[in-house]
Structure formats: C-alpha cells, structure tokens
Structure 1
Amino acid sequence: MVCNCCVRILSMALVKNGIQVDQIRLGKADISYDPNQHNMDTINSILQENGMELVISHEHKIVEQIKTAVIELIHQMNNVDSIVQKSEYLVGKLGLSYQQLSKIFSRHESITLERFIILNKIERIKELIDQDEFTLSEIAFMMDYSSVQYLSSQFHKITGLSVSEYKRNPENHKNPLHSLY
C-alpha cells in the first residue's frame, strides 16, 4: 500500500470479505480471520484484485518500507525547507546504509531507488503546481532542487513536458503513485 487511498480500498475489501481489520496503515495491515473460512490464498487474492501483493521475504518487506518512507517524506511531510536529505531519512528510518537500501530496492524493482525518488518528487511537484499556492521557486526549494532551472529540466526529462505545458493541461499527465514505474 503506497497511499492513503490504497489503505481505504484494502480495508473495505477485507471487511467486505469478512476479514476483521485490527489496524491498517501505509505498507502494513494487521488482520484477524477465521482460518476455517479464509486462508492465505484468499487474502492474497483480495490483495491482487486491488493491485497489491502480500510481502513475505525480508527484502520485500524492506522494499515496501522504502516505498512507504519515500512517500511519507515527499508526499506527506513535503520535506519542508529541505531539512532532511532523502538518504539520511531512509537510513534513519530503516536502519540500513543507503547503499544497502539501494541495492535491495534495485534487486526487487524494475528501477533504481534514486529514480523512484525522482518520480515521486515529480508527482508531488505536479500536485503543488495544481494547488497554485506556491511559486515555482518555492516548490523548487521545498522539493530540494538547487534551482528552478534544475527542477524544470528534470520535470521535462521525466514528463516530456515543460512546466508551462503541464500547467495548460494537467489532467492528462498525472500518475497514481502505485504505477510510477
């Protein structure tokens, strides 16, 4: 689960299927169920129907924790004033070196950790542009870009659009967080 919407969807799907949700949050759900009525295949099926998967291996758990931490930092905390470097945040949150985290992430996902972070930053930038509350300079600062030019360059490289082109037609260019790669 990589966003609050995923949390709501999964919670509703589990309850609908008679599974009690004890606690649910980004990346983790604690559930109770009658083993005579449901098994792990049932739960896995519910997850897959909703675009999610059961995380079993230790490394898969780390990958999910990385995704959750990146989303928390970029989408929920806004990395206000760029106080926290992304690598420091991940290392502090997960207790492994950035190099270890990056290797584990790349081994299990189709992209590098750095690219995953960049894609999330670009999606957050789109949200901030759409809100029309901040200047591009303020957004660049909030998202830890050294300059507006660097933000604009990376935005164009990832989206194929200039910021101005995006502003003219934003609806067609947003991506759900779970489909960024």
Structure 2
Amino acid sequence: MRPGMSLLKRFLLMLALWLVLTQAEPGAWFMGLLAAALAAGLSMRILPPAPSAVSARRAVRLAGHFLSGSLRGGIDVARRAFDPRMPLRPGWIRHGLDLPPGPGRKLLGDLLTLMPGSMAAGDDGRSLLVHCLDTRQPVGSDIRALERLLRQTLGHEGEARRE
C-alpha cells in the first residue's frame, strides 16, 4: 500500500475513534483533527506500512464461502436437532495442513469453529484436529476447500507446506 494512502486510512481511523470517544461533540473537532493527525503520523513511524499480499477480491470470495457454509451448517444442525432419530455420528478428524505456520492456520481454525457443526481443537504443526457432528459427511473436503480459499486470499498459493 502506498504510504500516502496508509497515512490517510490511519488518520481517518484515529479521527473516527476520536469522534466516538467524544460523542462527536462539535467543540472537540479541532482537537480531534490535531490528535488524529499526530497519532497517524506517530503510527507511521512506529509501524511503517508493509506490502500486503492479501487480495480484496479473494477476501470477498472467502467471506461468501464462509457465509454460505455457515448457512448450510446451520440448516444441517437444525435439521439434525429436530429429527427424532438424531442422525449424528460425532467424532474427531485430523486434517493435514497446507497453510504455512503462522496466523493463517489460526484463522482457518477460527473460521471452522465459527461454522456450525465443526470445531477446531488444536494444531500439532502438521495437522488440525477438528470435531464434527457427523464423520460420514465430507468434512475433509470442506476443510480443504476453505483452506485453499484462505491460502489464495493470504497470498500463499505457491507455498503449500505439509510438515
């Protein structure tokens, strides 16, 4: 990201924070502009902008995949809850990870945990331990699809690593 654009975004973020804290009191705007400018400038010195490999277009695609998966999972969980036969076969699966170590793996586990019907319980460095409501379902392929989209979104396409 260009430094000027990064400075502008930080300034606007600081100004928005100031307005929230002062309840947008008109008498505080001048000090808010000054404080936001100083805070944005200082933040640029402390944490300079770094190039980002995150693709906004792919992030939107990932969000759509997450939302549709959450909706499908919610409907599936509700159907199972109201079915008198309780068609459950809960269990644990291990999913071999292709994401390189780091925040991407944590985000994958968090996304899986937020989706109804699954919960990431740990990462041993090579695989992710996931609890699911029905081990007969294609949980592994669903996780692979989510991981692939996340890898593309974070710019790790050519970095598939199984440790």
Work out whether the TM-score is over 0.5: no
Larger fraction in strand: 2
Larger radius of gyration: 2
Larger RCO, structure (CA 8 Å, separation 6 or more): 2
**TM-score, normalization by structure 1:** 0.26
Q: With the length of structure 2 as denominator, give the TM-score of the two structures.
A: 0.28
